């Protein structure tokens, strides 16, 4: 039984499907690392040397070049843990919050999205934006405030923008609630306006029939 398990493990390790390359514009490196570890685990990749070689072959040309700059001895001495630490440190630096904020400001409501789905996407990006109060004695989160502003400024629905701008200082919860309610209301009105009239036909009583 043990030999069969070892054979199966070795077989799986040699038939591991490729993992997607890392794109910092779409995902945090921490999330990519976690998914990569699950990929390794599900295919029986347990040795650090194997993880290093496979990661380097999958991570993509841009990240590969970055690693060669971050770790001059990448190929001779660098370990899998060195790779992870180097990329974690690099993408965790404060300078990258500017890139995240640009991404946040470009994120608009897609035709297939609900407002709540859009908010979830914005919140995921906001984790890297350092939206905190600049006052050192405060440091409270400004994520909800920035998402509220995004809803007001970048909503493609002019009636929703108008309704939100009429509020003196709407909270994030109010902005989201108003947007969702107005979308539902608009859809309901469209259904009512486009509904075909139902013709009611009264069934004749046999005794009222001309031949009855």
On whether residue 151 sits in a domain, the answer given is yes
Burial-class residue 14 by CB neighbours within 10 Å (0-12, 13-18, 19+): exposed
Name the more confident of 199 and 177: 177
Is 86 in the same domain as 136?
A: no
Burial-class residue 75 by CB neighbours within 10 Å (0-12, 13-18, 19+): exposed
- How far apart (Å, rounded) are the C-alpha atoms in residues 36 and 58? 10
Q: What is the mean pLDDT of the chain?
A: 85
Name the more confident of 63 and 15: 63
Tokens of 40: 């390794």
Is 65 in the same domain as 77?
A: yes
Q: Residue 198 has what pLDDT?
A: 56
Q: Give me the number of domains the chain comprises.
A: 2
Is 56 in the same domain as 80?
A: yes
pLDDT at 137 over 80: no
Render pLDDT for 151-181 as a digit per residue (tens, 0 to 9): 999 999 999 999 999 999 999 999 999 999 9
Mapping DSSP to helix (H, G, I), strand (E, B) and coil, where does residue 140 land?
Answer: coil
- Give the residue-averaged pLDDT of 38-56: 93
pLDDT at 25 over 80: no
Residue 37: domain span: 20-94
**DSSP code for 24:** T
Q: Which of 94, 117, 144 is the last residue of a domain?
A: 94
Q: Residue 114 has what pLDDT?
A: 96
Q: Residue 206 has what pLDDT?
A: 57
On whether residue 9 sits in a domain, the answer given is no
Q: Residue 3 has what pLDDT?
A: 52
Query: What is the number of H-type helices and E-type strands within the chain?
Result: 10, 0
**Predicted TM-score of the model (pTM):** 0.54
Q: In 10 A of CB 128, how many CB atoms?
A: 19
Q: Residue 200 has what pLDDT?
A: 53
Is 40 in the same domain as 51?
A: yes
Nearest residue to 155 via CA among 130, 131, 188, 122: 122
On whether residue 207 sits in a domain, the answer given is no
First-to-last CA distance in the chain?
88
Name the more confident of 31 and 158: 158
């Amino acid at each position: 039984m043990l030999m069969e398990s070892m054979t199966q493990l070795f077989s799986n390790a040699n038939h591991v499907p490729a993992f997607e390359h890392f794109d910092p514009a779409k995902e945090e490196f921490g999330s990519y690392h976690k998914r990569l570890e699950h990929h390794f685990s599900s295919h029986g990749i347990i040795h650090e040397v194997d993880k290093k070689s496979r990661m380097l072959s999958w991570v993509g040309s841009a990240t590969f070049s970055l690693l060669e700059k971050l770790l001059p001895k990448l190929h001779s001495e660098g370990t899998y843990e060195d790779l992870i630490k180097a990329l974690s440190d690099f993408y965790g630096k404060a300078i990258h919050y500017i890139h995240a904020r640009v991404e946040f400001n470009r994120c608009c409501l897609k035709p297939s999205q609900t407002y709540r789905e859009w908010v979830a996407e914005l919140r995921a990006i906001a984790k890297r934006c350092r939206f905190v109060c600049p006052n050192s004695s405060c440091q409270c989160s400004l994520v909800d405030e920035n998402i509220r502003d995004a809803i007001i400024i970048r909503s493609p629905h002019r009636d929703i923008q108008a309704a939100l701008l009429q509020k003196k200082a709407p909270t994030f919860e109010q902005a989201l609630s108003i947007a969702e309610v107005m979308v539902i209301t608009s859809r309901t009105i469209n259904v009512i306006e486009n509904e075909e009239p139902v013709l009611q036909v009264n069934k004749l009583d046999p005794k009222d029939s001309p031949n009855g």
